[in-house]
Structures are given as structure tokens and as C-alpha cells.
Structure 1
Amino acid sequence: MASFWAIEVKPGSRVVHICERATGKLRITQATLGIGNGTEKSLVQCDVRELGKSPVIAFICALLPNTSETCPLNLKFEETAKIIFSVIGQRSVHLTGYYLCHDQAFPYLHSDTDTYSIDIENTETEESSDPHSEDSIFGGSFIDDSELLVSAPSPKSPIRDDSELPKSKDLNLDRIQEQSCAGIKTFPDGFVIQELEKGHPIGKLAALGSKVKIHFTGMLKETGCIFESTVDRHPCHFRLGDEEVIDGLNMGIDGMSVGDKRRLIIPPSMGFGEQENIEKVPPNSWLVYDVELVGVRRY
């Protein structure tokens, strides 16, 4: 989920922001020139400091009255960073953005918000052909990146107890076949892509940047415990390659055709890593995702 963030940085003063894991990563999306009579440009300087790393100091934008008074930004800071903002010029600058917490592999799955979106391509599997499937838990079809977090309140999606989640079947996760076996790709870091079922031979391919629609079940490799699933729910939608989706899913879905089913064995480095705020997922957990691609829409 995401929460709004904003500060005003005045000339001659510094604003210190200390990121915390409880609030999540900070993403700054825009700088706007403050009200005033100054006619000279205002430069925004950012000093980033992290434990064990050298400080990084840089100008992130320059704003000029009556000419360029706003500047879109795409800056993301880790939870461990200390950030010092300052302005060189005559007028203050307002910085806006949001905190983004990694509650799940898909941060919008259990969100309080609804997203404005565009329709999905109608090349889907039979399972997703239900007319109601277009009204996904994300508030419609695909997420429009330009409005990703510009949202309106909506009823919270119900979170079910473990007893309501489907039980995994015949996982045998610790007995995955060797790389030489057909349909299995094993990578040096332990990441595994296993082809479970092939879809339509000429189905649309998922590629980085395309918008995909999937059904999935997420499990802990060690115990087989299901921590997240869209079974008996609407499929989820996102843009493949989105930074807010774990790397293992982005890489594992890339190259799938509509109707394909894969099992992904995801190491901590491509999953949630050492994060401690992920519900039902201990830090440094290996994950297993069974994924079915049910729709693709190009850029």
C-alpha cells in the first residue's frame, strides 16, 4: 500500500528526512516552486547518507519562475537512508511523493484503494472469460502507470483465514528435477522456472513492459504454506517489470504465452529478502509461485 508524503524546503534551511522500514521506501514524484516574488531559479539539492556507504550529493531539479515551475521526478530511497534536502535560490520548493510498503508480491492485492485503468486485451483463457473477471480486485482492468497511485477509496478486499486458502497438491518442492529435464530451467542463484502446462500455441507473449493478467498461488518452499492466492478470486493485473513486483515474478512470467502455467522457485534475493513486515513470510524465505497467464496487453 502507499501513503502520501510532502515537504516544503525553504532557502537557507535544511530538511532532514530519515527513512524507516515501518513506513517503507520513499518515492519522490514531483517538485513545485513555492509562492514568492523571487525571479531567479531555485536549485534543489539532495544529500543521501546510508550506513557503510559514501554520501551522495546531487542537484535533483532546477525551477525557474514563470517558465518551469514544476518538475516531475522519479526518485526512490531505501528504508535505511537519511536524506537532507536544501534549496539554493530565492523561493521555496515543495516536494511530493509517497511511501511504498511491500506488503505482498503485488502491493495492490489487499489495498484500500481503487485504481483507474484501461481494458485488458480480450485474449484470455476460458477460466477468465467470466464477465465479472474484468472488475478485478484492483478496481478494473490493467493499471495505468500514469495513475498508479492516484486512487479513490473503495471497500477493503476481504482477507481470508488460512483455513479458506486452497491446500497445495503434490508440491515435492525439495525434489525438483535437474536442469537437464525437459521444461525446467535452473539458474545459478537457485531460481527455477518449471513449465507445468502450455497454452495456445499462438497465444500472446508476455514481455517486459506489457500489461499482464494472472492467477497465482504463493507458497513457502520450506513448509508449503500458502501465504497469498487468487484462487476463487479475480486475477491480478500489473505491468511486467514493475519495480514493486518481486524480481522472481517479473523474470518468471517474462516469455509466457496466454494459457501457460509455470511453477517458479524463487530465492530470497529475488523475493522479499530480509524484509520482516511481510505477512506470513519470514525473512530470507524461499518462495514457490504457481502462475497461470490469462491475459496480455501490449504497452
Structure 2
Amino acid sequence: MYSTQQPAATVMIEFNSSSDTSCDNPATTPANAKVAHITTSRISPWLSHVAYFLGGHFLLPLFFGDIRVTGQENLPNTGPIILAPTHRARWDPLLLAYATGRCATGRDLRFMVTITECQGLQGWFVRRLGGFSVDPQQPSITTLRHSVELLEHGETLVIYPEGGIFRDGKVHPLKPGIARLALSTEFSHPGLGIKIIPVSINYSQQLPAWGTDVSIHIGHPIEVADYTRGALKHNAKRLTTDLTMALQKLSHHESKVSCRAFAEMPNS
């Protein structure tokens, strides 16, 4: 087994401020703060319908072997959610939408992606399928605000907490941004009820090729409100630790895939 980190299509905001004050509450950041670029995202009903149909009935079933999913009962049908999946391949976003998106819950996913993924024709599709961009070197205030707004409106936000693609099957140190974003939003909107759901994605081959089997395990929701008492910095570390443990547990589960019973998704 080996580890290869590649630039990820989706990335995690990492706050670098030593004081933590500048990003404690993205929702109340001054309007005249400098931003890197305009962040927008929306769901095109017709394009989303076509993408889910073609992906779920043709592309994924024809390319992969068995696609097995467990834990779909842990996905809420309403309320703000942050999906926190492991990142193993470029196929992850499509498989995550297949296992947790419209066909499973009736909900569309909002992916945080890099600026380069939102350029040209590809960017046109990404933005109309719910994706929005972030500069991993200089996360903008606009990106933070947009993330907060999505959670305020009860959307499903996808953030890869490892921040990059790792093919060794291990859970790598998580970036702190996912916990800080969730906690600052929940603190600013008491009772919002944000849930972070760990998701482990595993392939039978390190570099997915035709016929590769896939297993996706969806863990139990982590209630962000349980971490809102006390200092944000301390709670963010505690939440990050618990999310790490949850992902490690799910990954251990996947290592015994041949001994477990999965709820297999239909390939037709």
C-alpha cells in the first residue's frame, strides 16, 4: 500500500488566523471585507435531473462492478447537513451523489470545489449542479458567507475534511475548517441543528478502473450543538477529534467488507 496526495477537486477551508477571531462568525463579517472572487451556486432542475439519471443508470453501473452502500438510514431528509467523506479518487463526488443525493434522500448536494474546477465548460456544469469555488490558498469571505447561507437554508454541504486525495486507505489528519465553520454557524443560529455525517468511500483498487468494486459506508450524524459550550477553539478540536474517530471506525468497517452484509444499490 502507498500514499499519494493529489490536488483535490474539492477542498477544505483551513483557517490560518492565530487569533481565530476573524472567522469565528462568517455570517457577521463586515460587508466591506476584501474577497477573492464572487461565489455563486445554484441547482439547474433539468440539468440535475439528466445528470442523476445518466450517472445512476448508465455511467456508474457500467464503469464499476458492485456498488455497495450501508448506513443510508443515517441520512436526514431535512435540516442542514455537512457530509464529511474520505477522499480516495476523482470518482468520489459522483458516487457520493449516487449514494446520498437526490435518489437516496430527495436532496441535492452542494460541493465546495477549487477555483480551477469552476473554469470553462466544466465550471459551467459544476456551478449549475450546486458546486461553488474556494481558493485553498486564500479562502474568501464570500465563500464562508455562502457556506453559512446554505446551512441556514437547510442544504446539504459537502466538504472533504482531509483536504486532498489519499489512496492508502488511511484517514489522514483533518483540516480544522469544517469544525469551525459548523460551530460558528450553529453558535450564531441557536437551534439550527447542523449535523456532520462522516462517510467512508473505498475502492477495491487504489486507482479505480473498469470493473472496480466500491463500498460506501455512511456513519451516524454528529450533532454540532453538542459542541457549542465553551471556547470555539477547544470545541473545534474536540469535534475534529470525534469526526476523525468516526471516519477511522468506518474505514475499519470497510476493511472487512467481505465479511459484512451491505445494502447493495441497484445497478439498473
Which band: TM-score by shorter chain? Answer: under 0.3
- Higher gyration radius (CA): 1
Q: Whose helix fraction is larger, Structure 1's or Structure 2's?
A: 2
TM-score computed with the length of structure 2 as normaliser: 0.24
TM-score computed with the length of structure 1 as normaliser: 0.22
Q: Whose strand fraction is larger, Structure 1's or Structure 2's?
A: 1
